[in-house]
Amino acid sequence: MDNWATEQAARIIWTTWQANDRIDGLPVDCRPTTRQEGYKVQSEVARLSGQSLFGWKIAATSQAGQKHIGVDGPLAGRILGNRSFESGATVPMVNNLMKVVEAEFAFRMARELPPRASRYSMEEALDAVASLHPAIEIPDSRFRQFEKAGAAQLIADNACASYFVLGPPVSVDWRRHDLSEHPVSVRVNGTLVREGKGANVLGDPRLALAWIVNELSVVGETLRTGQVITTGTCVMPVGIVPGDHVIADFGPFGRAEARLAA
């Protein structure tokens, strides 16, 4: 995939995103067919946006999620600065196709992890973390039938990234807890609608963190100091509509909340 094709694909995705529109797929002459090509397009989309990079997300961290969007493994995507919010914010839902929210563990990095030849261990990834946070992701796609787009196009489409809400840092000593067994629940308009736990995220959110550190290393991306990694949903995605008030409750780890606006 040459530079022209990469730039053309990125322009189509970014223009579609800006217009709150949808496409059936990228044209054949600029359609990525490998994960590496997808990440090249994703990088160019971020450049065209002109926005700072708030952090990274992981899509499809459960087998059910992978089956739903037709991929065989997780995907990494960028969280753009203008699409990140603090807990309690009102988040726009204009023309959101997916119409779901996800409750996620998020890590803020204390130092950067650059690409290298050897894989990072989970312990090395955790050692570079400054804080743990409850979070909400509100994903979306620029493809009308995202379930059929395939991994390369979904990566190019920023792994279905849209909006992100970061809760306050966990105040208790989370490193002493087994995050795989930590319970998480989601309430919508005061009603409990879904429960789950950390094990739904690649078996453990800490393993998901290590996965994305190594995924970024393979494609030559540096995980920077201060960036946030959100690791995938701990509960089955929760259907929402504009006007809903959503709370992702992590018990002693705190909570993240958002109001969804039309």
Domains of the chain as residue ranges with CATH: 51-261 (3.90.850.10)
Instruction: Kindly give the confidence (pLDDT) of every residue in the chain, 262 residues in length, as a single tens digit, with 9 standing for 90 and above.
Output: 999 999 999 999 999 999 999 999 999 999 999 999 999 999 999 999 999 999 999 999 887 788 888 888 999 999 999 999 999 999 999 889 999 999 999 999 999 999 999 999 999 999 999 999 999 999 999 999 999 999 999 999 999 999 999 999 999 999 999 999 999 999 999 999 999 999 999 999 999 999 999 999 999 999 999 999 999 999 999 999 999 999 999 999 999 999 999 7
Please give the Cα distance from 77 to 119 (Å, whole number).
20
Q: Report pTM.
A: 0.96
Residue with tokens 């726009």: 92
DSSP structure class, residue 111: S
Measured CA to CA in angstroms, residue 106 lies from 36, 143, 230 at distances of 25, 26, 4
